Amino acid sequence: MKKTALITGGSRGIGFGIASALAREGWNLIINGVRPEEAVQEPLGQLREHGVEVTYAQGDIGSNEGRAAILEVVHKTVGRALNLLVNNAGVAPKVRADLLETSEESYDRVLDTNLKGAFFLTQAIARDMVATRKEDPQFEAAIVNITSISATVVSINRGEYCIAKAGFAMLSQLFAARLGAEGIPVYEVRPGVIKTDMTAAVTEKYDKLIAEGLCVQPRWGYPEDIGKAVASLARGDFPFSTGQVIMVDGGLTIPRL
């Protein structure tokens, strides 16, 4: 029986890179996004070309109703627990505002999606994973959280994003500690500067910084870089490493003189 993974925000950017890597390894997929299904037929079709089942679950993880809609699709699709949850969905601030000008509206929007939504979706799916493993100890399950170097690297013009990612890193530690005895590993993958639609508006800025030595490896990261890391974790290549942070940042966060 093929394993099934839910990837939030899986129809574009880093999420699609992860979905593609898992599809190549034979995983059936549930792809979550906020766009209508008819708007994501192209990426879903590309994933199906790998010979796997791909189901779409529309819903905003930042809302209770959105999470309920996602979980309904999950339960209809797998009948029991997922083998893998990849918490990837996230939003950037609509406006990169100075820390002294950050609005409460922007703060709530970013935190609801990037942190609150991930917490309560993980909680619900982890409950199913725990219950299923009690019935069948051979059932394999894992959780991978996609955070960001912004969990520790300060950007004062998008403070709400940094706060959300720092909280998300702690979420990973908390669930790793809670689920360790249940045999469910939890990992954090922490990307650096990745070329996606989220970074499109700051391409020129980062082109210059990378050329000036921002990263040890002098290039942008790509969604497939994240996909390869998640696929390795999903295979179980790191069975005794729950709670660990996998850096995929080209060496950006290495302290250098």
**What confidence tens digit (pLDDT) does each residue in 76-117 have?**
999 889 999 999 999 999 999 999 999 999 999 999 999 999
CATH number at residue 239: 3.40.50.720
How many CB atoms are located within 10 Å of the residue 20 CB? 20
Report the run of H or E that residue 143 belongs to, with start and end.
strand 142-146
DSSP 194: B
Q: What is the pLDDT of residues 204-232, one digit of tens each?
A: 999 999 999 999 999 999 999 999 999 99
42 within domain boundaries: yes
**Residue 150 clears pLDDT 90, i.e. is over it:** yes
pLDDT computed for residue 202 by the predictor? 87
93 within some domain: yes
Task: Tell whether 135 is covered by a domain.
Answer: yes
pLDDT at 74 over 90: yes
What percent of the chain is modeled with pLDDT above 90?
96
What's the total number of domains in the chain? 1
Q: Is 255 within a domain?
A: no
Which residue numbers are catalytic?
161
Its domain, for residue 157, covers: 4-246
Residue 257 lies in a domain: no
Is residue 254 assigned to a domain? no
Give mean pLDDT, residues 52-67: 98
Assess if residue 251 is contained within a domain. no
CB 188 within 8 A of CB 246: yes
Distance CA 44, CA 54 (A): 7
- Indicate the Cα dihedral angle 225, 229, 231, 234, nearest 10°: -160
Q: Is residue 252 part of a domain?
A: no
Point out which residues pair with 246 in neighbouring strands. 189
Element (H, E) at 190: strand 186-191
Question: With contact defined as beta carbons under 8 Å apart, do 93 and 158 qualify?
Answer: yes
Helix (H, G, I), strand (E, B) or coil at 213: coil
Those residues with Cβ within 8 angstroms of residue 25's Cβ, 6 or more apart along the chain or in another chain: 231, 234, 235
